[in-house]
Structure 1
Amino acid sequence: MSTIYNVVGLQSNSVFASIKSFINSFTSKHTQRTYERSLNIFFMWYAGKELEQVEEGDLPIRYDKFIDYQTHLRNSDYNNSTINNMIASVQSLYVFLEKTEYNVKATNLKIKSLIENPEHAGSLHPDEAEIMAQTVLKQRKGKEKAALIRLAYTASFRKSTLLSMTYDDIVFINGCYVARVIIKGGKYHEVPIPTELYEELLSLKELDYYKNYTDNKIFHLRTKAIQAMMDSLRKELNIPDSRNIVFHSFRNSALKVSFSLEEAANQLGHSSLNTTRDSYDNEKKDYSNMPSMRMHNKIPNSVFDSLSKEELIQMILEEDSGVIMRMKVKANELSKQGDI
């Protein structure tokens, strides 16, 4: 689509001219581009038109329909913060349009914002994810769904990336199969996958209904089918709602087995460690050893009496370096006192 700020020749009373006036009211070029992109996504979904083609009859929208749009964005794998920003762009436009005396009601777009929690998707251990892959086999298109789950938790790819992958995106490099995809910023992201998983993906081609496809894509599942799959799995496996297990949870499985922040960032394809830090730190957080728990610790000091000297030394050496250094200093002081 041509950039909105340079389009000329439009009548001053056209809907697009009004939208352009709204966007140009922001001084930041970055904000203008962000709003243009968000509004274009909305009208493509709602009216099947780009901004230049929107007419007055395309503008009115009911409250329930706007709720559907928010749900659509959630199923499209955007995070909650991004969805809230995209929703806010449309809401602001409709306030502007109502003031400009278009036949719209901005109040119809007042919906509840999503909770902007960096861990909005609950976490799954790889073992749990594998149980879900085995459980889903009995569903319609079960083999394809199981393969989708396995590639999701193994490669930590987003749903949108998985659904766009073709068999050409998996290459054999240095004795290993590697899934190569393009992520944000137009960069290649590579994740090795086990040979048995690659063979499982290849076996999908043997399914009868795959003969109907000629696009070379690995998966042919709709987002609604994936949502229904997750709803069914949560119910069948008695996963409580409080865990908030969604498809994105498969991507977070890698955090359970990552040895370092750097390794987790590389697996997830993050260019900045700060993007990974909150999620990684939350996964590695030891709640059992926090002050609120330690103050109620009823384990008696005599528990150390049952340990040998070697066991005590080994336990000490497994502590953080700062703790070990403080213990060394204290041990050195006690040793000197004994020499007096």
Structure 2
Amino acid sequence: MKNCSGNILDDFLKDIYSGGAARSTLDAYRKDIAYFAKWYMDMSSKEPHPWDITSIDLREYQGYMQNIQGLKPATVNRRMAALEKYIRWAHEKGYVGRLPVFPKIVREQKTPPKALERVEQNRLLREAERRGKTRDIALIRLMMSCGLRVSEAVSIRLVDLDIGERHGTVAILGKGNKYREVPVPPEARKAIREWMAERTKRYPDSDWLFPNRNGGHITARNAEQVIKNIGKFAGLDIHPHVLRHTAATNMLRTGADLVTVAQVLGHANLNTTAIYTKPDRKTMMEALEKGEI
């Protein structure tokens, strides 16, 4: 094992900086390792040299952060990851003879993706109507009713649509070039028909449902900005994927099964769709309040 000379932590930070890490990353590593150093000195009254750190120290520190400090799993895992990277680097450089056993990461229960409640959906749609742009209403309705990704919505061609008063489908080429047909429910069909009547006059030669002035279609970035702006007027901080999450949540809450929702969303794996079945904090609180004696 190497003899220690100079400041090992500074050497570590210089190494990862030369490897392409940003200054902010260096600052984060320094802070996270400093948290451990303080705990170690409080516990042992000596400097935490990397060759002195044992498996037991690492387990106790992780437990301290969880049980005494009450830190969230993401914070605990980040600090432990910084410490592990430092110790592994010291091992590669010869400062540490034998690597300690690093504790397993703290598992965090996944929460369902953010979806709009009914009252929030109504606020968003009301604000879209107030802004008076039929294109924006059609875009929001299509994404929130059909659960489309923003990239899928903006790249719809007229030939992909089959929209009537009593029926409607849109053909989508999704992730991995996977083709699917998604039904379009009544309110979304109505919004699309109103927009198509207008777009025919404004963009008679375009093949796209949502054209731009250059002959192509609006970009995902354009659509994202539209949704964010209307969301702000409605008092909501949202992005396009929230509308997709909302569609999935609405389907499940009204009795749709996982296979159906997965087919609509274009998920290849049911486990991806199953995240929407997890209750949010409000639902769990309501359940606990109803069950409380």
TM-score, L = length of structure 1 = 0.45
1:15 corresponds in structure 2 to: none
- Among 145, 154, 161, the alignment partner of 1:154 is 145
Measured after TM superposition, the shift of residue 167 of structure 1 is 1.4
1:59 corresponds in structure 2 to: none
Q: Is 1:248 matched with 2:241?
A: yes
- Among 166, 170, 184, the alignment partner of 1:193 is 184
Length, aligned pairs only: 188
Which deviations, in whole Å up to 9, do the C-alpha atoms of 1:257-293 show, x marking residues without a partner? Answer: 3223333223322122111112222369543234xx5
Which deviations, in whole Å up to 9, do the C-alpha atoms of 1:195-230 show, x marking residues without a partner? Answer: 553353243244379634633111144444434434
Q: Superposition RMSD on alpha carbons, in Å? A: 3.9
CA distance in 1, matches of 2:163, 2:228: 35
Give the direction of change, closer, same or farther, for the CA distance of 1:286–1:264 in structure 2 (3 Å limit). Answer: farther
* 3-state secondary structure, aligned to 1:275: helix
Q: Is 1:184 matched with 2:178?
A: no
Q: Is 1:129 matched with 2:121?
A: yes
1:272 corresponds in structure 2 to: 269
Structural mapping, 1:281-292, within 5 Å: 281-282=278-279, 286-290=284-288
1:70 corresponds in structure 2 to: none
- Among 107, 110, 114, the alignment partner of 2:22 is 107
Q: What is the percent sequence identity of the aligned residues?
A: 21
Instruction: Mark the runs of 5 or more structure 2 residues left unpaired by the alignment.
Output: 1-14, 29-73, 75-107, 212-217
> Any conservation in 1 of the 2:144–2:244 contact (CA below 8 Å)?
yes
Instruction: Mark the runs of 5 or more structure 1 residues left unpaired by the alignment.
Output: 1-94, 100-104, 299-340
- Among 251, 273, 279, the alignment partner of 1:257 is 251
Give the direction of change, closer, same or farther, for the CA distance of 1:212–1:155 in structure 2 (3 Å limit). Answer: same
> Any conservation in 1 of the 2:113–2:276 contact (CA below 8 Å)?
no
Pick 1 or 2: higher relative contact order, CA cutoff 8 A, min separation 6: 2
Question: Which deviates the most, 248-257 or 259-268?
Answer: 259-268
CA distance in 1, matches of 2:118, 2:158: 24
Give the direction of change, closer, same or farther, for the CA distance of 1:183–1:96 in structure 2 (3 Å limit). Answer: farther
CA distance in 2, matches of 1:208, 1:172: 15
2:46 corresponds in structure 1 to: none
Counterpart AA for 1:168: V
Counterpart AA for 1:136: A
> Any conservation in 2 of the 1:137–1:146 contact (CA below 8 Å)?
yes
> Any conservation in 2 of the 1:205–1:211 contact (CA below 8 Å)?
no
TM-score, L = length of structure 2 = 0.51
> Any conservation in 1 of the 2:182–2:264 contact (CA below 8 Å)?
yes
